[in-house]
Amino acid sequence: MERVESHSELINHEVVDESNAGPHSEAAISFSVSDDDILRAQGHEAVFKRSFSVIASLGFAFNITNAWAGALSNFGQNLIYGGSQVALFSVIIACFVQWVITLRLSELTSAFPSSGGQYNFVYIIAPQKHRRFAAFMTGWMSILGWWMVTCSGLSLVAKAALGLGQFLHPDFEIKQSHEYCVYLATIIVTSQTPRL
């Protein structure tokens, strides 16, 4: 079997020969393209069985993105400042926006399977002139995003720990210095845990 060089060659590959167009002739057969064919054309091999139902995919996505933690961390503020309608509909709007982003990324991932992520997609899609700079900036924005998510998660842990302390000891007054010290302690503990 000869190797197909690009995804577009694989999709456009049809055999049409009108001179010998019998019902069972080899010339009248057009090839159907599956995800496995596309993977093989790019030098990859399908390893896992794809067996996610719609419900399983939604549950998996909900757990992976930790949407419940983000929704609950802002729930009180949304309820106080916007009322119950904001607390409910903000989650629905955020879910819709995340769904649109996920659909676009899944389309790119199925077309160009890579461990590189967004910067690889940007490099493939961007115009030739701006390709390297756009991929570089996307990679750095990705790293900054990871740092921000880590900082906000650690901040949530620090606030939850101090909130639990205040719940157990109602006379305890939380100060900003307490939050900062617990935040630093959380950073130290979580950064040293993988080394144990």
Instruction: Answer yes or no: do 133 and 163 share one domain.
Output: yes
- Of residues 192 and 178, more confidence is placed in 178
Question: What pLDDT is attached to residue 26?
Answer: 47
Q: At 44, which amino acid appears?
A: H
- Domain-located, residue 33: yes
Instruction: Answer yes or no: do 154 and 189 share one domain.
Output: yes
Q: Is 115 helix (H, G, I), strand (E, B) or coil?
A: coil
Instruction: Answer yes or no: do 105 and 173 share one domain.
Output: no
Q: At 167, which amino acid appears?
A: F
DSSP H helices, the chain, are 7-11, 35-41, 54-64, 67-82, 84-111, 118-125, 131-168, 176-192
Phi, psi of 191 (to 5 degrees): -80, -25
Q: What number is the average pLDDT over the span 148-175?
A: 89
Most confident of 102-106, 115-119, 139-143: 139-143
The parent domain of residue 98 ranges over: 66-114
Instruction: Answer yes or no: do 84 and 148 share one domain.
Output: no
Question: Number of folded domains in the chain?
Answer: 3
Q: Is 5 helix (H, G, I), strand (E, B) or coil?
A: coil
Out of 111-115, 121-125, 163-167, 176-180, pick the least confident: 111-115
- Domain-located, residue 8: no
- Domain-located, residue 154: yes
Instruction: Answer yes or no: do 178 and 123 share one domain.
Output: yes
- Of residues 185 and 112, more confidence is placed in 185
Q: Can you state the angle between helices 54-64 and 67-82, rounded to 10 degrees?
A: 70
Q: For residue 131, name the pLDDT band (cuts at 50, 70, 90).
A: very high
Tokens 């982003």 locate to 101
pTM above 0.85, yes or no: no
- Domain-located, residue 181: yes
Instruction: Answer yes or no: do 98 and 141 share one domain.
Output: no
Instruction: Answer yes or no: do 126 and 174 share one domain.
Output: yes
Structural element, H or E, at residue 116: none
DSSP secondary structure letter of residue 53: -
Instruction: Answer yes or no: do 148 and 189 share one domain.
Output: yes
Question: What pLDDT is attached to residue 67?
Answer: 66
**Cα gap 94→61, rounded to integer Å:** 13
Instruction: Answer yes or no: do 122 and 100 share one domain.
Output: no
- Taking CA atoms, 166 is separated from 10, 171, 178, in Å, by 63, 7, 12
- Domain-located, residue 156: yes
CA end-to-end distance (rounded Å), the chain:
50
Q: What number is the average pLDDT over the span 109-127?
A: 82
- Domain-located, residue 7: no
- Domain-located, residue 13: no
**Cα gap 23→192, rounded to integer Å:** 68
The domain boundary, picked from 114, 134, 152, lies at 114
Instruction: Answer yes or no: do 128 and 189 share one domain.
Output: yes
Instruction: Answer yes or no: do 108 and 144 share one domain.
Output: no
